[in-house]
Amino acid sequence: MKNVLTGLDRLTEGEWTRFKGQRLGLLSNQASLNRMLETARDVIAKRLPGQLRALFGPQHGYGGEDQDNMVETPHAHDGALDIPVFSLYAESRDPDPGMFDLIDTLMIDLQDVGTRVYTFSSTMLGCMRAAARFGKKIVILDRPNPLGGEILEGNRLSPELFSFVGPASLPMRHGLTMGEMARLFNRVFSLGCDLEILPMIGWHRHMTWRETGLRWMMPSPNMPCPETAYVYPGQVFMGKVPTFPKGEAPVGPLKFSVPLTLNRRPSENAWIPKPSTDAVFRTTCFARHFTSGPACFAAASWFTFWTSKRSVLTTRLWRCCRP
Whether residues 194 and 296 fall in one domain: no
**Residues contacting 240, CB < 8 A, separation 6+:** none
Pick the more confident residue, 184 or 318.
Answer: 184
Burial category of 159 from C-beta neighbours within 10 Å (exposed 0-12, middle 13-18, buried 19 and up): exposed
Residue 65 has what pLDDT?
Answer: 79
pLDDT, position 165:
92
pLDDT at 284: 62
Q: What percent of the chain has pLDDT over 90?
A: 61
More confident residue, 270 or 96: 96
Residues 16 and 164 in one domain: yes
Residues 255 and 195 in one domain: no
What pLDDT is stored for residue 190 in this prediction?
98
Residues 36 and 161 placed together within one structural domain of the fold? yes
Q: What is the pLDDT of residue 70?
A: 73
Looking at the structure, do residues 203 and 241 belong to the same domain, yes or no? no
Domains of the chain: total = 2
Highest mean pLDDT among 23-32, 272-281, 296-305: 23-32
Q: Which pLDDT belongs to residue 89?
A: 94
**Average predicted confidence (pLDDT) for the chain:** 83
The last residue of a domain, from among 144, 176, 211: 211
**Same domain flag for 180 and 231:** no
Q: How far is CA 279 from CA 154, 273, 301, 304, in A?
A: 20, 9, 7, 6
Q: Is there a single domain that holds both residue 66 and residue 139? A: yes
Identify the CATH number of the domain in which residue 171 sits. Answer: 3.40.50.12170
Instruction: Tell me: do 87 and 44 sit in the same domain.
Output: yes
Task: Tell me 283's DSSP state.
Answer: E
Give the residue numbers spanning the domain of 287: 226-321
Residue ending a domain, among 211, 241, 260, is: 211
pLDDT band at 43; cut points 50, 70, 90: very high
Per-residue confidence band for 233, with pLDDT thresholds at 50, 70 and 90: confident
Residue 33 has pLDDT above 80, yes or no: yes
What is the spatial distance between Cα 298 and Cα 261, in angstroms, rounded to a whole number?
A: 7
Does residue 165 share a domain with residue 25? yes
pLDDT of residue 235: 73
Last residue of a domain, one of 178, 211, 244: 211
DSSP percent split of the chain into helix, strand, coil, nearest 5: 30, 20, 50
Q: Would residue 220 count as lying in a domain?
A: no
124-133, 225-234, 245-254, 260-269 — which is least confidently predicted? 245-254
Specify whether 230 is located in the same domain as 207: no
Does 56 share its domain with 192?
yes
Among 239, 214, 265, 227, residue whose Cα is nearest residue 318: 239
Residue 207 lies in a domain: yes
Are residues 256 and 160 located together in one domain of the fold? no
What is the Rg, in whole angstroms, of the alpha carbon atoms belonging to the chain? 20
pTM: 0.85
